[in-house]
A and B are shown apart, each in its own frame.
Chain A
Amino acid sequence: MSKTTTALATFAALGVLAGAAQAEIRLGVSVSATGPAAFLGDPEAKTIEMLVEQLNEEGGINGEEIALTLYDDGGDPNKARTFATRLVEDDEVVAIIGGSTTGTTMSILSVAEDEGIPFISLAGAISIIDPVREYVFKTPHTDRMACEKIFTDMQAQGITKIGMISGTDGFGASMQAQCKEVAGEHGIEILADETYGPQDADMTPQLTRIRNTGGVQAVLNPGFGQGPAIVTRNVAQLGFEIPLYQSHGVASDAFIELAGAEAAEGLRLPGTALLIADKLAEDDAQYEVVTTYTEAYKARYDQEVSTFGGYAHDAFALIVDAITRAGDSEDPQAIRDALEATDGLVGTTGTYSFSPEDHLGLDLSAFRMLEIKDGDWLPVE
C-alpha cells in the first residue's frame, strides 16, 4: 500500500516537474491525413508539422516551444469528435486546428464550443462560421465566395445564362446549393442543372443535355477529385465552344496534368495566390509568405504545395499571432480574444481581419481569377 502511494507520488512529482521544466504551448490538431479526404489532410498535417518544427528551432513564441499533438481522424466525424475530446481533456491543449472536411469540423466544433477552446477549421462550408460561434474560426474561403467570384467574372464577360454540372460529393453539393442561392444577385440564370457521382467515368450524357439546352453561354462545374478532370476532358471531346468554369476545389497543378493541358486550355477558376507563387509580383502583399512557404515545403517534402496545405499554414499563423499578442499561452479565453482581434494578417489564402461578426475575415479579393493557358495558370485580372 505504501509502496503504491510512493510510486504514485513519484509519478505525480515527475509529471509536475516535466510540466514545469518545459513551459510549452500545447497545440492540438485533428486532420484527415488518411482515408477518403487524405488529399486534404495529408498536406495539412505535413504543413503543421513542418511549421511547428521551424518555430521551435527559432525559439518558439515568447520563448516557449510548441508541443504539438496531431491526430489523424481518417475523415470520420466520430473519430474527430473523440480526438477533439481527448485533445481538450487529456492533452489539455489551448487551441485546436483541424477538421479537414466539413463533417469532421462539425464534430470538433461542438466540443470546442462546449469546452471554450479556440478552434480554427480548415473546411469550406459557410455554415461553420455563419452564424458566428464564439470559439470557431476558419481559414478557407467559403463556397459561396467562390460562386460570387465566378459570377462576377461571368458578368464581366457578358454571360447571363449558364449550365451547371456538379459533383454529388459533399463539396460539390454544397457549392451547387450556394451558387444557386447567389446566382440571382449577379443576374445569372441557371438553365441546366446536372450532377454526377464522385467516381463516375464519363459525363458526356449530362454535358450533351447542357449543350442541347438553348441559350447556355457557359458551363460551371463545382466538384473535386477525379470528376472535374473528366468533365474537362468530356467538354473537349464534345467540342464545346462556350467557356468552362471550375471551382477552387481543383486548384492544383495536378489538375492540369489529369485533365490534360489541351483539354483544359482556356478554362477559368478562382484560386489562391499560392497557385501562382512563381508569377506573383514582388510587391504583392502575399509574395513573401507564399514564396517562403512554397520553398520550405518543397525542400522538406519534395512535393508541390497545395491550396489545402495553405489553409493549415494560415491557421497556424493565426494561432501563433494570437498567442503572441495574448502574451499568455495558458488561457484559451485570452487566445480566443486575441484571435478575434486579428487585423491584417497576411496568409497564403488572403489577408485575414477577424471581428466579432466575422470569423472568416477574408473578402473576395483573396480569390484570384485564373485561366489555364499553355498548361499553366495565368492570372486574368
Chain B
Amino acid sequence: MDALLQFLFSGLTVGAVYALVALGFTIIYNASDVVNFAQGEFVMLGGMITVFAFEAGLPLPLAAVVAILITSAIGVALNKLAIEPARGAPVVSLIIITIGASIVIRGATQLVFDKQLHRFPSFSGDDPIHVLGATILPQSLWVIGGALAVFVGLWIFFTLTLTGKAVLATANNRVAAQLVGINTGWVMTLSFGLSAAIGAFAGVLVTPITLVGYDVGVALALKGFAAAMLGGMGNPKGALVGGLLLGCFEALTAGYLSSQYKEAVAFIVILGVLFVMPQGLFGSKSTERV
C-alpha cells in the first residue's frame, strides 16, 4: 500500500512537470494550430536564467521573475522574427520553424551560459513529507500546485475573458476574426509571450527537482507533447489530465512491471487512446473539414 502511494507521488510529481509543458503548448496551439516545439526550451530558459540570476546575487523570487520576463520576451521575439515573416506558410512549415528555433535557443544558451548542469535550492527545503509510509518532497507540491494554478488561470482566460475568446477565434478562422475587429497579429504576439512565460514558470518550479542544463528541453517537449496529445491538443483540462496520467503510467510501470518498459508502456497507452479517440481524452471533435 505504501509502495502504491509512493509510486503515485512520483507519478504526480513527474506528471505535473509534463502537464506544465503541455499547458504551454495549449496557448500557441489555440492561437495558430502550431505545436511549438521550442516550448521545452522555454522551460530550460526559465531554469537557466533563474540559476544565473540567483548566482549573481538576486534573491530567488526576483531571479525567477527576471527569468520569466526575459523568456517571454524571447517568445515574443520568436514570433516577430521567425513565425510572423512566414505568415501564410502551411502549419507544418511553422512547426519546422519552431524546431529550428529550439536548436538556435539551445546553441545560444550553451554560448551565453555554459554546458553544465545546475540547480538552485528548493523553495521550502528538502525535508520529505511523510504520508502513510510514503514520502513526497515539498518542491513536488509546488510543482503540482503550479500546474493546477496555471490550469485554472488558462481555463478562466479561454472561457471567461474576451481576450481569451479572441485567441480561440483567431485559431478558428483568422480572416473572420480580423473582420470582427480582432487584431490577430497582437493575439499571436500575446500567445507566444504568454506561453513562453508559462514555460519559464515551469522551469522555475521544476529545476530544484529535475536540474537544468542547456539540453533538457528536448525530452521535456516530447513528453509534454505526448501528454497534450493524450489529453487532447489545445485543451487546458486535457493538458493537465494528460500530463498527470502519463507521469502515473510511467511510475506505475517502473514500480510494478519493470523500469525497462517504463517509456514503452506509457506510449503504448497513448497509442491505444489515440486509436479509440483520435482527438485525445478531452479534445473537441474535428468537424470543420468537409
Q: Do the beta carbons of A208 and B6 come within 8 Å of each other?
A: yes
Q: Do the beta carbons of B115 and A205 come within 8 Å of each other?
A: no
State whether the Cβ of A226 lies closer than 8 Å to any Cβ in chain B.
yes
Number of interface residues of A (CB under 8 A): 34
Q: Do the beta carbons of A206 and B259 come within 8 Å of each other?
A: yes
Of the candidate stretches B7-15, B70-78, B159-167, B190-198, the one touching chain A is B7-15
Q: Do the beta carbons of A34 and B3 come within 8 Å of each other?
A: no
How far apart sit A208 and B3, CA to CA, in the bound complex (Å)? 7
Whether A38 contacts B110 in the complex (CB less than 8 A), given A205-B259, A212-B3, A226-B210, comes out as yes
State whether the Cβ of B224 lies closer than 8 Å to any Cβ in chain A.
no
Task: Output the residue of B110, B254, B262 with the most chain A CB within 10 A.
Answer: B254
CB distance from A352 to the nearest CB of B (A): 29
Q: List the A residue with the shortest CB-CB distance to B118.
A: A258
| Chain A, range 243-271, C-beta contacts under 8 Å to B | 254, 257-258, 260, 262-263
State whether the Cβ of B137 lies closer than 8 Å to any Cβ in chain A.
yes
Q: Do the beta carbons of A199 and B115 come within 8 Å of each other?
A: no
Hey, what's the 0/1 contact readout for A225-242 against B, CB within 8 Å counting as 1? 110011001001111000
Q: Do the beta carbons of B259 and A194 come within 8 Å of each other?
A: yes
Q: Which residues of B contact A197 (CB under 8 A)?
A: 262-263
Q: Do the beta carbons of A199 and B219 come within 8 Å of each other?
A: yes
Q: Which residues of A contact B251 (CB under 8 A)?
A: 202, 204-205
How far apart sit A238 and B126, CA to CA, in the bound complex (Å)? 12
State whether the Cβ of B80 lies closer than 8 Å to any Cβ in chain A.
no
How far apart sit A291 and B255, CA to CA, in the bound complex (Å)? 46
| Chain B, range 97-142, C-beta contacts under 8 Å to A | 110, 115-119, 126, 128, 135, 137
How far apart sit A267 and B6, CA to CA, in the bound complex (Å)? 23
| Chain B, range 199-242, C-beta contacts under 8 Å to A | 206, 209-211, 213, 215-216, 219
State whether the Cβ of A189 lies closer than 8 Å to any Cβ in chain B.
no
Q: Do the beta carbons of B209 and A202 come within 8 Å of each other?
A: yes
Q: Which residues of A contact B7 (CB under 8 A)?
A: 204-205, 208
Q: Which residues of B contact A287 (CB under 8 A)?
A: none
Whether A38 contacts B115 in the complex (CB less than 8 A), given A201-B13, A206-B254, comes out as yes
Task: Output the residue of A195, A202, A225, A238 with the most chain B CB within 10 A.
Answer: A202
Q: Which residues of B contact A38 (CB under 8 A)?
A: 110, 115
**Looking at chain A's contact residues, is the secondary structure mostly helix, strand, loop, or mixed?**
helix
State whether the Cβ of B286 lies closer than 8 Å to any Cβ in chain A.
no
State whether the Cβ of A151 lies closer than 8 Å to any Cβ in chain B.
no
Which of A36, A204, A212 interacts with B9 by CB under 8 Å? A204
Q: List the A residue with the shortest CB-CB distance to B3.
A: A208
Q: Which residues of B contact A233 (CB under 8 A)?
A: 126
Q: Do the beta carbons of A195 and B13 come within 8 Å of each other?
A: no
How far apart sit A236 and B135, CA to CA, in the bound complex (Å)? 10
Whether A262 contacts B126 in the complex (CB less than 8 A), given A208-B7, A239-B135, comes out as yes
Q: Do the beta carbons of A196 and B259 come within 8 Å of each other?
A: yes
Q: Do the beta carbons of A237 and B135 come within 8 Å of each other?
A: yes
| Chain B, range 252-269, C-beta contacts under 8 Å to A | 252, 254-255, 259-260, 262-263
Q: Which residues of B contact A195 (CB under 8 A)?
A: 259-260
State whether the Cβ of B17 lies closer than 8 Å to any Cβ in chain A.
yes
How far apart sit A201 and B263, CA to CA, in the bound complex (Å)? 13
Hey, what's the 0/1 contact readout for A195-219 against B, CB within 8 Å counting as 1? 1110111101110110010000000
How far apart sit A199 and B18, CA to CA, in the bound complex (Å)? 13
State whether the Cβ of A169 lies closer than 8 Å to any Cβ in chain B.
no
- Further 18 A-B residue pairs, CB within 8 A, beyond A204-B9, A225-B117, A230-B210: A34-B110, A194-B259, A197-B262, A201-B17, A201-B210, A202-B10, A204-B10, A205-B6, A205-B11, A206-B255, A209-B255, A209-B259, A226-B210, A236-B126, A236-B128, A254-B116, A258-B119, A258-B211
A-B contacts, 16 of them at CB < 8 A, read A201-B13, A201-B14, A202-B14, A202-B209, A204-B9, A205-B6, A205-B251, A205-B252, A206-B255, A208-B3, A230-B209, A236-B128, A237-B128, A237-B135, A258-B117, A262-B126
What are the 6 tightest A-B residue pairs by CB atom distance, in nearest-first order?
Answer: A205-B255, A199-B219, A205-B254, A201-B210, A38-B115, A204-B10
